[in-house]
Amino acid sequence: MKMLNFETKLETMTAAYLECAIFCGDGIEGAEFSADAISSARKSCAVFLMRYSNKCAAFSMDQLGHDLFYTRNGHGVGFWSRPEIYGDDLAETYTEYSEKIGEKDLYIGDDGKLYFS
């Protein structure tokens, strides 16, 4: 099994996080992410990966990106609903962390680009 470096993991997780944000957004189809939104998503994913690097190496970075966005924003799925993937303890740990960092909603700025609140 090929081990991915941190930067590759981060890029994959961030892309999935942003994809999930678009999926969950309402009325934002076709809008592009601002540089600030991309930076915010990247920072959220980087902090998560650094904090849990020894615990999340075996998981799909796509799944982690989706579940981080879903859980922090209180959607009906997320880390807590996937103990079959993360195990009960990590699902709880990741959920508690995601809820602690709080919600980040998308909105369209005056420039027509997407930003996180």
Q: Provide the pLDDT confidence category of residue 49 given band limits of 50, 70 and 90.
A: very high
| pLDDT at residue 66 is higher than 60 | yes
Token couple for 82:
């996937």
What's the structural domain count of the chain? 1
Is the pTM higher than 0.75? The answer reads yes
Burial status of residue 52 (CB atoms within 10 A of its CB: 0-12, 13-18, 19 or more): middle
Is 45 a member of any domain? yes
Give the largest Cα separation in the chain, rounded: 46
Name the E strands within 1-117: 106-108, 114-116
Is 1 a member of any domain? no
Is 26 a member of any domain? yes
Domain of 105? 6-116
| pLDDT at residue 1 is higher than 50 | no
Between vectors from CA 31 to CA 25 and to CA 37, what angle results, nearest 5°? 75
Is 89 a member of any domain? yes
Looking at residue 3, its pLDDT comes to: 55
Is 72 a member of any domain? yes
Is 10 a member of any domain? yes
What is the chain's Cα-based Rg? 14
Is 53 a member of any domain? yes
